[in-house]
Structure 1
Amino acid sequence: MAAIESFSATHPGDPEPGDLIEIFRPAYQHWALYLGDGYVINVTPVGKAGARVRMQLLKDVVGSDTYHINNKYDGTYAPLPVEEIIRRAEYLIDQEVSYDLLSNNCEHFVTLLRYGEGVSSQANRAIGAIGFVTAAAGAFSLLGLLRSRSRERQY
């Protein structure tokens, strides 16, 4: 990895190898793992259920968006040694991996590299919202069925 000059895309601090980088896209957050020398590893969707693991310059992945270093799970999971994180990450470069928004997304990918555990609060929030909507729809359906039966009994 060749060294590159620093860039200023609203970057708060200098990432260290193994850091999780949260990138704020207009409708979601994208996640990458910092490798060093300005490079990150991340997954980019390539088909219905697949993604390609790519090593790219952080500035290219961020583009015109903003980002910050966010090792938010360090209090819950112990980070693996940096050398192991980087070794595991480099092994996966250019490989195709499965991808699923709710169970195997970009945040799952980078947290699996850093902690050995794939975690995504973004996916957990989405699953919670889906569960709430499903429960609410079920409750409204049940209320409709009960009302319908109540009317049938009156006649």
Structure 2
Amino acid sequence: MAPTEYDVKPEPGDLIEIFRVGYQHWAIYVGDGYVIHLAPPSEHAQAGASSMMSVLCDIAIVKKEEIWSVVGNDKYSINNLLDNKYEPRQVRDIIREAQSLLGKELPYCVFRGNCEHFVTELRYGKPQSRQVRKVLEIGVVFGLAVAGIGLLAAIFGPKDKEKTQEQAMRNL
């Protein structure tokens, strides 16, 4: 069993961030050592890198499991990441809604409906995913960098293709 980041016991309604290889899985603590989470078929504690295949799933199941069976050997932390932005819902409402969804198959989309969207909607009434936002921001920055390199090459690159080809032939 991996300890929490601060070794603090979660309270019902807390968001649990589990650090898998290459991504984070999210669950909501409901008390007595249990969490409820949205789990694609490939999502389980010992799945390792193969759980990354969840991006290809379009359906996931709402499950209630012991926190340690979901965390496995991974690290986790309590991360109520949007408390400074939104007022958390009443704990009884969070848990009632989470339990009403148990066993249901829900649409799953890594960009619009993943496990982080699921738990933030339960806690705040707003489905959000910071890790998707980070990935998209990195993609935009990378795309801009590639575009910038291409633009620089176009501006400062060879002006006369024929001369450049001639020079290349002479160097052979």
TM-score, structure 2 normalization: 0.76
Q: Which amino acid aligns with 2:3?
A: T
Residue in 1 that maps onto 2:58: 49
In structure 1, distance between residues paired with 2:145 and 2:108: 29
Residue in 1 that maps onto 2:10: 15
1:73-112 mapped onto 2 (5 Å cutoff): 73-112=82-121
1:115-134 mapped onto 2 (5 Å cutoff): 115-134=124-143
Residue in 2 that maps onto 1:5: none
Please report how far the alpha carbon of residue 138 of structure 1 lies from its aligned counterpart in structure 2 after TM superposition.
2.5
CA contact (8 A) 1:34 1:40 kept: yes
Unaligned runs of 5+ in 1: 1-7
Q: Structure 1 residues 149 and 94 mapped into 2: Cα distance closer, same or farther (>3 Å)?
A: farther
In structure 1, distance between residues paired with 2:158 and 2:109: 41
CA RMSD of the aligned region, Å? Answer: 2.2
Unaligned runs of 5+ in 2: 42-55, 165-172
Q: Which amino acid aligns with 2:37?
A: N
Q: Give aligned-pair identity as a percent.
A: 42
TM-score, structure 1 normalization: 0.83
Provide, for residues 96-147 of structure 1, a one-character-per-residue CA deviation record: whole Å limited to 9, x for no partner.
1122223322111101100001122211110100111122222333444556
Report the count of equivalent residues: 148
Q: Which amino acid aligns with 2:21?
A: P
Please report how far the alpha carbon of residue 154 of structure 1 lies from its aligned counterpart in structure 2 after TM superposition.
7.8
The DSSP-based 3-state class of the residue aligned with 2:22 is coil
Q: Structure 1 residues 91 and 149 mapped into 2: Cα distance closer, same or farther (>3 Å)?
A: farther
Please report how far the alpha carbon of residue 50 of structure 1 lies from its aligned counterpart in structure 2 after TM superposition.
1.9
Q: Which amino acid aligns with 1:125?
A: K
